[in-house]
Amino acid sequence: MPKKAAKRVTKKANRTPEKPPAEQPTMRSAPFRVVHFEINTDKPERAIEFYKSVFEWTLNKWEGPMEYWTVMTGDQTLPGIDGGLQRRMAPNVGIVNIIEVPDIDATIAKIKRQGGTILGEKLTVPGVGYVIYFYDTEGNLSGLIQNFPPNQSDA
């Protein structure tokens, strides 16, 4: 998941004042907010054309370790979230919301205690943070992200 796509976009006036680098938090948004979405598709080229034509979104190939396109949904100075587009992860998977968390391991434990199902292992996305996917108790697929601190690019 690209770093730029994982940020929550807010109006400049609503931003908190910058803290000195040593005090900056890891979180890029309020804890447990949906900060990113992923569109899963069997035919990326067709889906890219659809979202460009219908919504005038900008989609760009990401130069990371997986086949992925960043999705910019509009004016970056206005509230809203951006996302990504990727090949379908599993049958019947459509749009997946990604939730930013301050401690991914603690959140994984909470999901398990509450009856959710963790899919696979926690992934390290270079330059971004940790990512994992889960099913809630109703069978809905979502993801978690714990971003690296601003001065850290890898674990």
Domain parsing of the chain, residue ranges = 31-95, 101-154
- Tell me the C-alpha distance between 128 and 51, whole Å: 25
Q: So what's the architecture of 31-95 in CATH? A: Roll (3.10)
Statement: residue 9 has pLDDT above 70? no
Give the tens place of pLDDT for each residue, 12-42: 333 334 433 444 445 666 789 999 999 999 9
Statement: residue 80 has pLDDT above 60? yes
pLDDT at position 27 is 60
**Reading across the β-sheet that carries 95-100, which strands appear in turn?**
58-61, 68-72, 83-87, 34-41, 95-100, 141-147, 129-135, 117-125
Identical fold for domains 31-95 and 101-154, yes or no, is yes
Taking the domain 101-154, which CATH number applies? 3.10.180.10
Statement: residue 5 has pLDDT above 50? no
Average pLDDT, the chain: 83
DSSP states of 77-131: TSSEE-EEEEE-SSTT--EEEEEE-S-HHHHHHHHHHTT-EEEEEEEEETTTEEE
Statement: residue 141 has pLDDT above 70? yes
Q: What's the pTM?
A: 0.71
Statement: residue 44 has pLDDT above 80? yes
